[in-house]
């Protein structure tokens, strides 16, 4: 097949409702969007999607969509060609947002990124996470105790959000008295009002919530400087980057990133997980029949199938080529994990939910390289512990109806999910 010209490709894509730069695309049912990605994967090279109006002025004139598994892996692992600065979200947040909130590590490159990541990754070593295993199981037990004590309603606030929130708070050492306030802030901070109105992933109300959350964090940081303990906040306030300690803004940016990145993603994976296990009773039976054998495969398959983070962006900084497309400095590429995870070149029957898939080289936590998800192991541990409790304690726990999704071009966010169980 010869490479179609950009103009004829655009026409064809519009005819198939596959214009990824059009906010209407992100309001289509998910199954339609996945069909569009399949169409794009079948083309010879990544296609340029041009943005219009304010989006174009902020985002700098569109992006090439990387939709194949191999292309997403390649861009993720070549940070000298594909930079995370000036930002990984599309369209770019306004400059004032960075000025107020500092630059989070997802948007940094090179030594600046590596230094910050080194400090925080101390809290995520397999050894420390193994030590946290008991705490994770205890939290899962408590969350399910409380779920059983209450009447079933919305699975998202009562179970799916609670588990990752408590774990991150324990890891960071946030005292109980601050938790209700922070939980409320996290919820608003990551509120997504839909792609049509949202210019930023964290619009007006969300930004206010983030600012308030950072005030709480600053207070805690001052306390830990005076009286350090063995938690992550103490480690960060003692940390030294290039001979300097982290600024208040760097600290705040990191706390917000961990709370939003660590809680939102996992919450969505857990909610999708319940919906998938309900829709596929034969897979659930397999899992319940031999939990230890199938649990690791199940949590990875949940993340592949649901892909909680749809995409992140990179900016080209050196002449290069990916997937047969030549790229110049300044051009943007968007890495669509949601499409790579359904790539038929890598996954047999990619739309099937199959907890026995082996290997399962999904890109739900990123395509590798320096920004690969810092919390991947923690997320796996949390999901395994929670699903163990959910599937073995109450009888017949199930989703009722489909998850209610938020229109978003960034995350596969579940707004609400009704559920039921027989307490036994």
| Burial of residue 233 (number of CB atoms within 10 Å: 0-12, 13-18, 19+) | buried
User: Is residue 269 near ligand HEM by the rule CB under 6 A?
Assistant: yes
- Residues 155-184 interacting with ligand HEM (rule: CB under 6 A): 168
> 410 near 310, Cβ under 8 Å?
yes
In whole angstroms, the minimum distance from the beta carbon of 66 to ligand HEM comes to: 12
- The Cα–Cα gap between 363 and 284 comes to 23
Output the 3-class SS for the chain: CCCCCHHHHHHHHHHCCCCCCCHHHHHCCHHHHHHHHHHHHCCCCCCEECCCHHHHHHHCCCEEEECCHHHHHHHHCCCCCEECCCCCCCCCCCHHHHHHHCCCHHHCCHHHHHHHHHHHHHHHCHHHHHHHHHHHHHHHHHHHHHHHHCCCCEHHHHHHCHHHHHHHHHHHCCCHHHHHHHHHHHHHHCCCCCCCCCCCCCCHHHHHHHHHHHHHHHHHHHHHHHCCCCCHHHHHHHCEECCEECCHHHHHHHHHHHHHHHHHHHHHHHHHHHHHHHHCHHHHHHHHHCHHHHHHHHHHHHHHHHCCECEEEEEECCCEEECCEEECCCCEEEEEHHHHCCCCCCCCCCCCCCCCCCCCCCCCCCCCCCCCCCCHHHHHHHHHHHHHHHHHCCEEEEECCCCEECCCCCECCEEECEEEEECC
User: Is residue 255 near ligand HEM by the rule CB under 6 A?
Assistant: no
- Residues 343-382 interacting with ligand HEM (rule: CB under 6 A): 364-367, 369, 371-375, 378-379
Q: Which of 189, 261, 277, 333 is the binder for ligand HEM (CB under 6 A)?
A: 261
Q: Which of 67, 172, 258, 271 is the binder for ligand HEM (CB under 6 A)?
A: 258
**Beta carbon nearer to ligand HEM, 33 or 314:** 314
Task: Report the relative pairing of strands 48-49 and 63-66 from DSSP bridges.
Answer: antiparallel
**Beta carbon nearer to ligand HEM, 9 or 360:** 360
In whole angstroms, the minimum distance from the beta carbon of 402 to ligand HEM comes to: 20
Q: Measuring CA to CA, which residue among 422, 418, 424 is closest to residue 153?
A: 418
User: Is residue 105 near ligand HEM by the rule CB under 6 A?
Assistant: yes
User: Is residue 273 near ligand HEM by the rule CB under 6 A?
Assistant: no
Q: How far from the centroid of its chain's Cα atoms is residue 92's Cα?
A: 17
Interface region with ligand HEM, contact rule CB under 6 A, candidates 6-14, 137-145, 307-315, 353-361: 307-315
User: Is residue 106 near ligand HEM by the rule CB under 6 A?
Assistant: yes
**Beta carbon nearer to ligand HEM, 26 or 312:** 312
User: Is residue 70 near ligand HEM by the rule CB under 6 A?
Assistant: no
- Residues 23-52 interacting with ligand HEM (rule: CB under 6 A): none
**Beta carbon nearer to ligand HEM, 35 or 117:** 117
**Beta carbon nearer to ligand HEM, 269 or 316:** 269
User: Is residue 76 near ligand HEM by the rule CB under 6 A?
Assistant: yes
**Beta carbon nearer to ligand HEM, 59 or 375:** 375
Q: Which residue is nearest to ligand HEM, using beta carbons?
A: 375
User: Is residue 413 near ligand HEM by the rule CB under 6 A?
Assistant: no
**Beta carbon nearer to ligand HEM, 91 or 366:** 366
Token pair 């000298």 is found at: 80
**Beta carbon nearer to ligand HEM, 13 or 172:** 172
In whole angstroms, the minimum distance from the beta carbon of 369 to ligand HEM comes to: 6
Contact pattern from residue 110 through residue 149 relative to ligand HEM, giving x for each residue in contact according to CB under 6 A and a dash for the rest = -------x--------------------------------
In whole angstroms, the minimum distance from the beta carbon of 362 to ligand HEM comes to: 10
In whole angstroms, the minimum distance from the beta carbon of 116 to ligand HEM comes to: 8
**Beta carbon nearer to ligand HEM, 13 or 220:** 220
Torsion angle of alpha carbons 174, 391, 297, 379, nearest 10°? -10
In whole angstroms, the minimum distance from the beta carbon of 26 to ligand HEM comes to: 18
Q: How many residues bind ligand HEM (CB under 6 A)?
A: 29
Give the footprint of ligand HEM on this chain (CB under 6 A).
Answer: 76, 105-106, 117, 168, 257-258, 261-262, 265-266, 269, 303, 308-309, 312, 337, 364-367, 369, 371-375, 378-379
């Amino acid at each position: 097949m010869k490479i179609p010209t950009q103009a004829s490709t655009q026409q064809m894509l519009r005819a198939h409702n596959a214009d990824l730069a059009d906010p209407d695309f992100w309001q289509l049912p998910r199954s339609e969007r996945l069909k569009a990605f399949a169409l794009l994967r079948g083309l010879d090279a990544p296609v340029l999607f041009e943005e219009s109006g304010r989006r174009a002025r902020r985002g700098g004139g569109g992006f090439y969509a990387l939709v194949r598994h191999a292309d997403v892996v390649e861009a993720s692992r070549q940070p000298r060609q594909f930079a995370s600065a000036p930002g990984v979200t599309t369209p770019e947040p306004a400059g004032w947002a960075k000025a107020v909130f500092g630059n989070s590590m997802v948007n940094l490159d090179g030594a600046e990124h590596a230094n910050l990541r080194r400090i925080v990754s101390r809290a995520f070593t397999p050894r420390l996470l193994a030590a946290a295993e008991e705490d994770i199981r205890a939290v899962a037990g408590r969350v399910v105790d409380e779920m059983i004590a209450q009447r079933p309603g919305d699975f998202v606030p009562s179970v799916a959000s609670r588990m990752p929130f408590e774990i991150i708070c324990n890891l960071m050492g946030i005292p109980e008295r601050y938790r209700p306030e922070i939980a409320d802030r996290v919820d608003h901070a990551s509120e997504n009002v839909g792609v049509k109105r949202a210019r930023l992933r964290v619009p007006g109300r969300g930004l206010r919530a983030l600012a308030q959350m950072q005030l709480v964090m600053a207070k805690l940081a001052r306390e830990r400087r005076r009286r350090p303990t063995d938690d992550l906040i103490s480690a960060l306030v003692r940390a030294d980057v290039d001979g300097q300690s982290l600024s208040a803004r760097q600290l705040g940016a990191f706390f917000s990133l961990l709370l939003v990145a660590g809680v939102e993603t996992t919450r969505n994976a857990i909610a999708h997980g319940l919906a998938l296990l309900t829709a596929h009773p034969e897979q659930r039976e397999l899992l319940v029949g031999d939990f230890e054998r199938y649990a690791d495969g199940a949590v990875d398959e949940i993340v592949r199938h649901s892909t909680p983070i749809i995409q992140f962006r990179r900016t080209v900084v050196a002449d290069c080529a990916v997937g047969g497309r030549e790229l110049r400095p300044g051009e943007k590429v968007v890495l669509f994990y949601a499409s790579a995870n359904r790539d038929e070149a890598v996954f047999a029957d990619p739309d099937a939910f199959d907890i026995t898939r082996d290997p399962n080289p999904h890109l739900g936590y990123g395509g590798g390289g320096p920004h690969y998800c810092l919390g991947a192991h923690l997320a796996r541990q949390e999901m395994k512990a929670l699903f163990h409790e959910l599937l073995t304690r109450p009888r017949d726990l199930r989703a009722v109806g489909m998850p209610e999704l938020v229109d978003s071009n960034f995350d596969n966010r579940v707004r609400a999910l009704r559920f039921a169980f027989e307490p036994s």
